[in-house]
Amino acid sequence: MKRTITHLADGRELFYFDRCDDADRGAVDRRDLPPRPTASELRYDPLTEEWIAVAGHRQGRTFLPPASECPLCPSTSGNLTEIPSAAYEVAVFENRFPSFSTHLGDYQQVGGLSEVRPGIGRCEVVCFTAEHDSSFAMLPPEQVELVMDAWIDRTAELSAMPGVEQVFCFENRGAEIGITLAHPHGQIYAYPYVTPRTRLTLGAAGRHRERTGGNLFADVLAAEREAGIRVVASNEHWTAFVPAAARWPVEVHLYPHRQVPDLVGLEPAERAAFGPLYTDVLRRLDGLFGVPMPYIAAWHQAPVNTGRDLSYAHMELFSIRRTPNKLKYLAGSESAMGAFVNDVLPEEAAHLLRSVVTN
């Protein structure tokens, strides 16, 4: 794998990832771009003990442009994009409208019980392919491996940045999810704090270890593999299953069979085995209702400085679609109280996904 580093017109970093060492990535970004925005401000919510990022500059980000104006396609004479090269395999660049960055401004305290501090960190965009009309499900195994190489490279580098406490790789897919760009891509957030979900699960994992001496995530995986009824697909190194207490109508978790804290810890065979299983699951999602499935794919990795012995890197994949023409909205109970009600029996969801015929 060849990694090439260059810079965009406003100074942001751009990384090309290629399978061949002779790839020419010397194209220059010739756009006239405005100055980069300063980092968001973080405001502390004393009622939930959580940090909220306030990033007003994101209101102006690009929203669902036509394919001819896509900023993630390779550049042409008529459309200069975030990718100066006329072709690429996988590209990663600093987000032009970041929730977190190292480009700091002035931050004033707001009074009351809320503390304010700068949103130090980094947000990157990961372009999975140069093909605008493709999808992750359509990527061949070698392309998925290259995407994983990019995730691993960026996880390692971002984890070493001062102030970063957790690195999160994810994909939002589908207009129903709220995407702003249709080109196949994901994002990486380098947070200046440990996220609420991770704090919650690591707390549960710590209590589980005190009670049993085991790792909570490993024990969940072992129990699901033994029960079998919610397993959707598996291979030598990975298992995909619907969790017994699924929150979402369609929800699949993908675990490696060996505990590692983050993607960096995966062995080459484990990296290679992920793509065929994951794209099979994605095709099952698309085949479930006969329409492209909107989804969020979220890599759960260990924080940088805490809980690494308790953590178990895995992906959680879920969709808000519950029928071919109905979505699950986070209404009163979910949005106000964080108390989920799922309309779909997890065992039935797993059965339906197993029943989908994939090519």
Catalytic residue numbers?
Answer: 185
301 CB-near residues (< 8 Å, 6+ apart): 155, 166, 167, 168, 169, 261, 262, 263, 311, 313
DSSP 177: T
CB 148 within 8 A of CB 155: no
SS3 content of the chain, % helix, strand, coil (to 5): 30, 25, 50
User: Which of 189, 58, 62, 37 minimizes the C-alpha distance to 126?
Assistant: 189
Residue type for 303, please? P
Max CA distance (Å), the chain: 63
CB 158 within 8 A of CB 190: yes
Q: Which residues pair with 127 in a beta bridge?
A: 91, 185
